[in-house]
Amino acid sequence: MRNWLTVPTIVMGAASAPAWALETTTTLSVSTMMTSDPSEDQARNLAGVSALFEAQHELGGWTLTGLARAEENPERDRNEYDDTVALLELRAQRALGPIDLTLGRQLVRGGRATLVNPTDVFDARDSRDALLATDRVRAVDAMRLAWFLDNWQATFVTTPVHTKSLMPHPDSRWFFQLPASADLGDGTIVPIAYSWADYDATHLGAPQTQFKLNHEGEGFSYALSWFDGEDTLPTFDSRAPILGPSGLQVEIDQTFAHKQAWGADAELLVGKAVLRIEAARIKRRFEDGRRDDYDHIVAGFDLSLEHGLFGQETYLAFEYSKQFARDGQDWNKEDLRHILANAFLARVDVTLGDHDSVVADVVYDHLQSQNALLFEYRHGFNDQLDLFVTTDVLGGDAETFFGQYTRNDRLGLRLEYTF
């Protein structure tokens, strides 16, 4: 629900028209999660409170938009990066004939695939909770120019700011499952403590630049893109361990590769289904000479049915994500760019009457036998108040990305009020 705050302009003691209007939306959220932890034979209760405030105003041909969040949640790490109050977006947009100009902190998304987007290069996420990362994309401070001509759109995005994905603190339950102890060689076993050597959220660096050409047709659309800049996901390197009174201290560096990516995506309407394909040829270069060159292809379809599962309105999406290493390199569970190198993904969204719906996301890696199931049930009491019941289940060997977090299977409850 939108609110309009109307403030008359005062000139020489008298009100003048037009009024100054601010369109606002506020969402208050209270959540709790219970996570079983077999290693400690106990349950962890995680509760959080958040407020999301969005405001929009028209001023002299510009549309000004701001989005801020205040949050208190134990999943958020305060020691390394404090965002109890965060300005998520702050942008100004204006149409100049066939050109659309957007300046400021904004989301820049790319790709036509539904669940995984290889051409989405401005994809920094808040990964301090691995399962919420897909919904927590970080906005970038950028200039975006979009030029429209008939069915064509050319888009240019550039920024001098490198916006990084946020990683969990080493004390977090979402940190990598690394060895907890080490043998010094004489039979002495000592604990290992990990810490980040560097944890800045953004920095000024080389320009991040993207150009994209998009064509929208009747039943068939496609796009070509090019990007040059720094990757938003880090690669990790550990420094030499230091032996202290409490054990070994290991600092971990986050290294961000220089990245170039050529991309293409297309969609084809076939009856009630939409066939989608998206691909990128990616080249990553590190300062120490390492390289990671690979191709990433995602293909699948989505389908909307008026009378689908249980005779209800149903949305289905299915995709296969495949990566091909061009230099024969191997990837492990800490290589975040390659989590979905061989994965089937699916989404089922069923509307149950006027007030209820269920959504299930499934990921299955058939080569490493790892999997994830994310389920959400929503009940709308009215237009403003919603109740969500969620469950997340992870599976796989401890050496896989999802498998290392099986102790984080959880059940969640969230209440949202929007006004």
Give me the CATH number covering residue 334.
2.40.160.10
The pair of structure tokens assigned to 415 is 């209440």
Averaged pLDDT, 137-149: 95
pTM of this structure: 0.88
What value does the mean pLDDT take over residues 122-143? 84
pLDDT for 375-408, tens place per residue? 999 999 999 999 999 999 999 998 898 998 888 8
Please state which of the ranges 88-102, 255-269, 271-285, 325-339 shows the lowest mean pLDDT: 325-339
Helix (H, G, I), strand (E, B) or coil at 130: helix
Rg for the chain (alpha carbons), in Å? 24
Round the average pLDDT of the chain to a whole number and report it: 87
Across 202-222, average pLDDT: 91
Considering only CA atoms, which of 170, 223, 166 is closest in space to residue 195? 170
State in Å, rounded, how far the first CA of the chain is from the last one. Answer: 5
pLDDT at residue 42, rounded to an integer: 47
For 158-164, what is the mean pLDDT? Answer: 92
Q: Are 49 and 100 in contact (CB under 8 A)?
A: no
Query: Into how many domains does the chain fold?
Result: 1
Residue range of the domain that includes 395: 3-418
Question: What number is the average pLDDT over the span 282-301?
Answer: 94
- Top-confidence residue, 78 or 84: 84
